[in-house]
Structures are given as structure tokens and as C-alpha cells.
Structure 1
Amino acid sequence: MNIERFMADFGNSTSNFLVDSYYFEIPTCVVEISNEEAEGYFTNSVEEVDDLLSRLLISTVINNEKKYYMVGKLAEENPYANGHVGKMHDKINSPIPYAVFLAAVSYYYKLKNTNGENKAEIEIDSMSMMLPIWLLKKESKFSIAQNKMAQRFAGDHVVTLITKGMETELTIKVASAKCSIESEVARWALKYKLVNDEEKNATRIAKRNEARTFDDTETVFVDIGGGSTDAVELAKGLNTPVSKESFKIINIEPYLGRLDTLLNEKLIEYFNDLRSLENFIVDNYSNQKYVLKNENTGQKYDLTLPITDMLKGYADLLVYKVTEAFNTDGKRKKYVYFGGETPILSPFIKESVKNATNEDILERNHFFLNELLDDETEIFKPAARTINLAALEILSLNERNSK
């Protein structure tokens, strides 16, 4: 099996993948278990590939030692699944991105080869991924960290999918791997878009009209993730940052860490684990009413106040930290907010900006991705959580077209 383009965004909350234009995601939950636990884990076979994403159990060899991992939804409720969320997560050395990568390839193979053999070789022509700014700044040059991450995935890998009914052994060969900079790479998906060229029956990269909004000022991209918040100041026209100092680490507690504190201090009687609380917020943020219903008793618990208080406090501190980091020269700057946690925090960020400045500055200088993009015809329209991935796809297709 050949995969031409494999795009990966190893987020702390969710890992997102775009594989030859097919999108899927896996919760970033990984738990190592013993051989004995792995062998006796499933009582029934998984018969449908649609069910595999919630039943990912793999084995691989790391440093000459065989490892067994539950990945994604299967690991969500395990108490060891979220040890990486309360602190900055070193994706270069952590086994978590690697295990999620192996599981993602295994799922994609089974998806595309429902009647395939239980032993196969997969060739990936080009793999792209990203690292957050705080990890890049640990090295004397960004490229050192980028190369470390890329080399971790380049070359040969062996994984065994041991989910009962889906058992498969795969040898994965990654011909080329590249690592970009989170938040900065997103500018490509705000400058360009992917559209269908009906005359040539092909995908074409086109300029995005919305990008004109940023022709006249420097623009700060604020990438709000579950594990860290990155921010980078781009030159006018969404062009390359001026220097290394244009990249900022926003010194704020990780969102998932703050959510974990809320769980332990105020909501422990309502949720068994962090992921249950996180999913509850994701399911209810659009109407800003957080009412938990017990489906067995019919009893309801209104948790709106403690949750919105936490979100408001977090947004206030975030806005202060971001503007403090970039408002050093008195020049007008525009801000674009995206990242997986932005849709949840956006109403509170708006309120915080308005309170700190005024309504006019909020409207002229602060933008949210879901309100900014208006073209419904593009092939893969970026969302707050996928704009980095869309940018990797644009860069990859551009490189292919150049060749």
C-alpha cells in the first residue's frame, strides 16, 4: 500500500490526521499495558472498521523492548491516560505521538483494505508534522528540534494491530519526513486555499481573498492548544516573521491542566475523569449552558457557573499575556485566534478584549478563524483545530506540483 501524503498534528487533546486528503482524528490518550493485559483485553471480535477507532490496541518494539499500548478512545477512561496534560508535553521524546502515529497508520490501512492481508508493507512518500514554539526554543536553532522530530518518523517502523478481529502486522517505510512550526505554518492556510480545477480535473492552490485584511499591518497568530499556547508575529501580508524574537511562548497554565484543576476542586462528584469533563464542555459550549443530565434518573445538575467562571478567568489571563508579549512598540497589530480550544474560549476572549480596550478595537484588530473564512467551495476548509493541518497539506501539494 502506498500513501503519498501523511499530515499529522499531534495535539495534547486530540491528534488530527489528513492522509491523502482523508481526515480523521484520535484522542491523544495512550496507556502502556502488559502483554498479559493485552492478550486478555477483548472478549469479542471487532467486525466493522468503523468500530476500530474506539478499539485501538497495538504493539511495537522500542529500544529492543516490546511495548503494548491502548490508544485513543479505548484509553480515555484509564487513570494513566492523561499524565501529559497538566504540563508542557515534550513531543520529541514522549512515546505518545509515536504510539498514536502507529495506531493511525494501522486504522487507515484497515479502512482502505477491509479485506486485506494480515501482513502488509506501507510506503509513505511524504510525512509532515509540527512542533510547538516552546520546544523549538529549547535548542540554539529551531531546525535542530525540527530535525529531531522529523528523524523520529523517517525510516522503517513495525507495528502489530492486536485488536481482536483486526489483527494485522504492518511494516511502515517513511521515505521523507518534515517538521514545521506550529502557529507560524498556519499562515499558508490563511493566504491560500485548495479548490477544484474542473477544467484540468485536479486540485489547485488559489489565493484567499480574506488574506487582504492583513496586508497593511503586522499580524499575531495565537494558537490556543490544550497543552500550550503559541503566538507568532508575522510581517505585513502574513509574511515570514522578522526574527526568532517574533515567536513567543505564552506563559500560562495549559488549558487541560486548568481543566483538571477545576475537576479536582469543584466537579469531582460529577465526572470520573478529565476527558469526560472535556467532552461535556465540547458538547455544550455553543449555547453556553452546561447542564449535566443523568440519563438513568433524569436528574439535572446546572454546572454553568463554575465552568464559565473558569473559562472567563482563563481567557482574561490569556488576553493579558498575549497583548503584553506583543504590545511593546505601540504599533497597531491585528490578532488571529485559532487552535483546538479557541471555539470554547472565543466569547470570553472577545469580552476580555472589549473590557480592556473598546468595541471598535475588538472589531478592527481581533479575528477568529470561524468568522473570518467565508468560502464554502474549498476542498478542505480550515477550522480552528485543523488550520495547521490544512497548511501542511497546501505546502505538501505545492512541493509535489513543483517536482
Structure 2
Amino acid sequence: MEIKRLNADFGNSTNNFLIDSYYFEIPTCVAEISKEQAEGVFTNSVEDVDDLLDRLLISTVLNDEEHYYMVGKLAENNPYANTHVGKMHDKIESNIPYAVFLAAMAYFHKLKGEKEIAEIKVDSMKMMLPIWLLKKEDKFSIGQSKMQNRFMGEHNVKLLTAGMETELTINVERSKCYIESEVGRWALKYKMANDQEKEVTAIEKRLESKMFDNHNTVLVDIGGGSADAVLLAKSLNTPVSKDSFQVIQIVPFLGRLESLWKEKLLEHFTDLRSLEKFIVANYKNQKYVLKNQNTGEKFDLTEPIVEMLREYSKLLVYKVMEAFNNKTKDALKFVYFGGEAPILSPYIKEAVEQMTNEEIMENNHYFLSGLIDGDESEIFKPTARTINLSALEILSLNELKQG
């Protein structure tokens, strides 16, 4: 089986994959278990590949020892599945991205590959690292090389899910690591459009990107594990210096959410992930009413949740402003994205208005959902959660055209 373009976003809430134009997600829940535990996970066989994504059980050999992992939804209820959320997650050293990568490859092979061929050749793989992790090195390129090298070459995985068992060898021919948040500028500046005449995907300049032609722009990437920001030159061009990359010094969002769960909502949710899912399902109307599906009883949790979101947003905006307002006297444009941006957006707007005024909020601060125009020809239109992945796909397609 050959994969031409493997684009991966190893997030702290969700891992997003775009493989030869096919998109899927795996929750960032990984629990290492013993061989004996692995043998007792399943009582029934999984018969449909559509169910496999929720039942990923794999093993791989690391340092001459076989390790067993439950990955994604299967691991959500395991107490060791979210050990990365309360601190900054070092994706270079952690086994979590690697285990998810192997599970993703096993799933994709079952979905698209031929049973008789137990090998996957990946022509080109692209991934990213957050700014805080790259800043630990003397040069960004050192951290990027470490991540690239981790995925380059041969990998072996056993899919142990009952009814879906297989062994695979994966060969990654080329890999490249980009900078989270900064790479997103490619998806703000360009779009992938379906050229029906030539039956190809065309990379086109976005008309709406013109609003950034005369302004330096700050991209604020709010993830579950870190918040990073980068100051771009005019026309969404590359940053001018290392100082243009800023780590926003704030507790990771998932870590703050875990504190809220333990301090105020422990009786209502069994784990952090169930609270996170509840917020994702209800944030659009800013009302958080939990309903017991068995008794019909309702619990209005709006006050403690909104209070946390408002406080978090206020501190986030303060930290972002503090990092960039002194770098130029000209008006800056700010674009907020990342997995947590839609949840925090109303409170970020409040905080910006309080720190500045309504006019500045309206003219200089943008959220992705209100920034990108509708275009029926656009392929894989970026969202707050997938803009970095869209950018990797644009770079992958450009690379293919260049040969």
C-alpha cells in the first residue's frame, strides 16, 4: 500500500490526520497496558472497519521489548490515559504521538489497503511541533530534526483488536516537521480549490487575505496543551526573527479544565474527557445544562463553567497583548484559532473590549469562522481545529507539483 501524503496534527485533545485527502480523528487518549490485560480487552470480535476507530488496540517493540497500548476512544476510561493534560506535553519524547501514529496507520490500512499486502510505504509525512517545545533547543531546526527523525524509516505494529488482527511494516521515505501556529498562515493566505476543467486540485490565493496586506498579523493558536502566538510580517509573510515566536505563559487549557472538574464538578462527570465532551456539545449557546438520561434530572452547570472560561480568556488576552503590543506602534491584526478558540471566543471578545474598546475589537481581532468566505469549490475548508492540517496539505500539494 502506498500513501503519497500523510499529514498529522498530534494535538493534546485530538489527533487529526489527512491521508491522501481522507480525514479522520483519534482522541488523544493512550494507555499502556500489560500483555495479560491486552489479551482480556475484547470479549467479542469487531466485524466492521467502521467500528475499528473506536477500538484500537496495538503493540509495538520499543528498546527490544513489546509494549501494548489502548488508543483513542478505547482508552478514554483508563485512569492512565490522560497523564499528559496537566503539564506541557513533550511530543518529541512522549510515546503518545508515536502510539497514535501506529494505530492510525493500522486503521487506514484496514480501511483502504489490501489484506494481502502487509506493508505501507509513505512517500511524504508532515507534522508539527509547538513553539514552546522548539524554543527549548538552541535552534528550532534541532527540535524539528528530532521529530522528523522519529518518524523517518521503518516501523512495525501489530493490530490486536479482536477480529481485525494484522501485522504491518511501515516505511516513511521522507518526513518534515513544521512550526505550529506559524504554518497556519499558508491556509489563511491560500486555499485548495477543485478545478473541474482540469480535474485537479488548484492552490489559489484567498481574496480575503488582502485585509492583511498592510498589517503585521499575530496568529494565536489556542490548543488543549499550550497556547502559542507568532507575529507575521505584512501579507502573512514569514516572521522576521526568533523573537516573533512567543509562548503564552498560561496553564494548559486541559489542565485548567481538569482543575475545574476536580474542584467543582467531580460529582457530575466520571473523568476529564466526559466534561470536555459536554462543553464541546454545549458551547455554542453558552448554556451548560447536564441532563440525566435515565432519571430526567437536570443540573445547571453554566455558572462554574462560564466563570472558568471567562477567567481563562481574560488572562490569555492579557498575556497575548503583553507579548506583542510593545513590538510595534502600528495597528496589529490578531487571528485566533486552535481547538479551544471556538469555546473561548465570546469571552476573548469580552476581554479584548475591556482592555481596548469595541472598535479595536471589531477591526483588529478575528476568529477563523468569521474570516474565511464561503466557497463551494474549496476542498477541506479549514476550521479552528484543522487550519494547521489544511496548511500541511497545501504544502504537500505544492511539493507534488514541484516534483
TM-score calculated relative to the size of structure 1: 0.99
Post-superposition offset of 1:112: 1.1
4+ residue segments displaced more than 2 Å: none
Partner of 2:56: 56
CA displacement 1:82-106 (0-9 Å, x = unmatched): 1100100000000000000000011
Query: What secondary structure does 1:82 align onto?
Result: coil
Per the alignment, residue 253 of structure 1 pairs with 251
- Among all aligned residue pairs of Structure 1 and Structure 2, give the percentage whose two residues are the same amino acid: 70
Question: Residue in 1 aligned with 2:31?
Answer: 31
Aligned to 2:373: 374
Question: What are the Cα deviations for residues 280-317 of structure 1, in whole angstroms up to 9, with x where unaligned?
Answer: 00000011110001111110000000000000000000
Corresponding residue of 1:293: 291
The match for 1:149 is 147
The amino acid that maps onto 1:54 is D
Q: How big is the shift at 1:130?
A: 0.1
- Match for residue 19 of structure 2? 19
Partner SS state of residue 263, structure 1: helix
**Shift of residue 331 of structure 1?**
2.5
CA distance in 2, matches of 1:98, 1:284: 32
Q: Give distance in 2, aligned partners of 1:5 and 1:262.
A: 40
In structure 1, runs of 5+ residues without a counterpart are none
Q: Secondary structure at the match of 1:145?
A: helix
User: What is the CA distance between 1:330 and its match in structure 2?
Assistant: 2.9
Q: For residue 359 of structure 1, what is the amino acid of its counterpart?
A: E
Structure 1 residues 114-134: Cα deviation after superposition (integer angstroms, max 9, x where no partner):
x724x6000000000000000
Q: Distance in 2 between matches of 1:149 and 1:375?
A: 35
Q: Could you say which residue in structure 1 is the equivalent of 2:175?
A: 177
Q: How many residues align?
A: 401
Q: Give the SS at the match of 2:136.
A: coil
1:376 deviates by 2.7
Deviation at 1:60, TM superposition (A): 0.3
Report deviation, 1:63: 1.1
What letter matches 2:111 in structure 1? L
2:72 aligns with: 72
AA at the equivalent of 1:80? Y
1:303 to 286, 301, 310: 301
Alignment of 1:180-329 (within 5 A): 180-328=178-326, 329=328
1:375 positional shift: 2.7
Amino acid at match of 2:332: K
CA–CA separation in structure 1 for the residues paired with 2:375 and 2:342: 19
Q: Tell me, in whole angstroms, the C-alpha distance in 1 between the residues paired with 2:292 and 2:307.
A: 23
Unaligned residue ranges in structure 2 (runs of 5+): none
Q: Match of 2:330?
A: 331
Q: 3-state DSSP class of the match of 2:46? A: coil
Q: Please provide the CA RMSD for this pair.
A: 0.8
TM-score normalised by L of structure 2: 0.99
2:225 and 2:78 map into 1 onto residues whose CA distance is 19
Verify: 1:103 aligned to 2:103, yes or no: yes
Residue identity opposite 1:235 in structure 2: A
Task: Output the amino acid matched with 1:13.
Answer: S
Q: Residue 93 of structure 1 aligns with which residue?
A: 93
State the distance in 1 between where 2:385 and 2:273 align: 17
